Amino acid sequence: MARLFLLNLAGQLIVYSIEAKWGVKCSGSAEPVRNDRPMETNESLKIDADVLRKALRVWDSSPALGGHALAGLRIVEARRREAGYPNTLEDQGRALREVIRDAIRTFPAPANSDDIPDKSERPYVILTERFIKGCNWDDVAAQLGLARRTFFEEQALALDMLVDILRRREEALPARPAPTSPQLDLKIALDRLAELPLNTLPTPGPLPGGSLMPLGRNPLFVGREQDLKTLATALKGGETIAIGQIETAATTGLGGIGKTQLASEYVHRYGRFFAGGVFWLSFADEKAIPAEVAACGGLGAMDLRPDFGDLPLQDQLRLVAAAWQQPIPRLLVFDNCEAPELLAQWRPAVGGCRILVTSRRTDWEPTLDVQALALNVLSRAESLDLLRQHCPEADEEILAAIAEELGDLPLALHLAGSYMAPADYRSG
């Protein structure tokens, strides 16, 4: 009994010292203390200890963190852009994890792991051991030499302190500019689309703000000038066009003809003329399509609502679908879309979106009104150009023989060139 009394007394003294130092009132109950004062950022995102706790519980899952409300903070978006991460749920979660970790590292860490941490080091230990590492609270309390009641009080204090750090860092960033008039945006957007050239290839340029494009431009891309102009004509008019593979190429393999590379080149050359943004979605995995679509409405993309990341998936999909049906021109790329029913399901029924599909399918149902552009292999001159980019010093006859052997198939030529580039092509 005397030992228990002394432990409780020591715990109370610790609480009083923490309150005096930090100006925070600790609860007297054994349950975790909650910060009932919600924090509002300049974007009306609310954060408190409970919201933070939910994020910490999915610490090891980047997609789950990316879908959490805290991923909507400006400091998270700033970190993602600074690090050069793509705008995906996984990378938004990665950025959120780094932001929280940086905030935790502002607390003093124990200098010696063999010693019991002093009171100034306890917030760091609690946040890292209890939440990030997922240790049992009883083990962490024992590590700190705290009774159950005192441990939960200090745990609540550590969460509140972390909330305060995130709040101050978020408020230190400038607020986003207010959106301009939708009527003005539409006029500017339509004028911009009207500038899209049909007879000449525009130089590659930056994409509109809010675009989701995971693929950088391929610096080794060659040829396909007429194919790019054909796409430009079709998509400027608002039609849907599928990049298909010619039947005769099927004997060399359905893949490798360059469908995705052509779509990527089109995006980097023509994307800036679609003022509503470019959104690249992978249709390779049917189950992952809803998450791909939902990502288009989040922070860094269309940014449809400040709390978008905290909404149920079905609500996110409804908001994205509604936005895609607006008249502002957008370019949607459905990469590896093989099933007509998927195109029918996810393509907006009305609005200003243009749809670019890459697919092995060549027989699209007439009701889908798809214009199919059947790609051929590269011309011999284009094949040699591609190989020269890998092996500029190679003998012309050797390159021509390689192109002939590989049937001028773009992927095969790229692999061959990559294999030859680091070594002497005449060896062996």
Residues 6 or more apart whose CB falls under 8 angstroms from that of 200 comprise none
| CA pair distance 136, 151, nearest whole angstrom | 12
Supply φ then ψ for residue 281, to 5 degrees: -125, 135
This prediction's pTM:
0.54
Neighbours of 345 (CB within 10 A): 10
> In terms of C-beta density within 10 A (0-12 exposed, 13-18 middle, 19 or more buried), how is residue 164 classed?
middle
Separation CA 193–CA 272 (nearest Å) = 9
Distance (Å, rounded) from C-alpha 79 to C-alpha 125? Answer: 25
Question: Which 3 state secondary structure label does DSSP give 332?
Answer: strand
Number of H-type helices and E-type strands within the chain: 17, 7
Q: How far apart are CA 107 and CA 218, in angstroms?
A: 44
Per-residue pLDDT tens over the stretch 258-278: 788 889 999 999 999 999 999
Structure tokens at 56: 């910490």
For residue 110, what pLDDT is reported? 84
Following DSSP, what letter does each residue of 65-129 receive, concatenated? HHTSGGGGSHHHHHHHHHHT--SSHHHHHHHHHHHHHHHHTTSPPPS-TTSPP-TTTHHHHIIII
At residue 285, the pLDDT reads 92
Let me know if 115 is exposed, middle or buried by CB neighbors in 10 A (0-12, 13-18, 19+): exposed
- Report which secondary-structure segment, H or E, holds 245: strand 240-245
Tell me phi and psi for residue 107, to 5 degrees: -80, 145
Find the angle CA(206)-CA(211)-CA(212) to the nearest 5 degrees: 115
Residue 256: per-residue pLDDT:
74
Give the pLDDT of residue 122. Answer: 87
**Mean pLDDT, contiguous 10-residue spans, the chain (428 residues):** 39 40 38 35 62 86 84 87 80 89 88 78 87 86 87 89 89 63 70 91 90 85 84 76 33 58 91 94 93 92 87 90 90 90 89 89 79 75 69 69 66 66 47
Q: What pLDDT, on the 0 to 100 scale, is given for residue 22?
A: 38
Q: Residue 291: what pLDDT?
A: 93
Going from the C-alpha of 328 to that of each of 83, 188, 299, 321, 343, the distances in angstroms are 30, 9, 19, 13, 20
pLDDT at 383: 67
3-class state of residue 357 by DSSP: strand
**Contact at 8 Å (CB) between 240 and 263?**
no
Report angle CA 357, 288, 257 to the nearest 5 degrees: 35
Other residues' Cβ atoms within 10 Å of the Cβ of residue 24 = 16
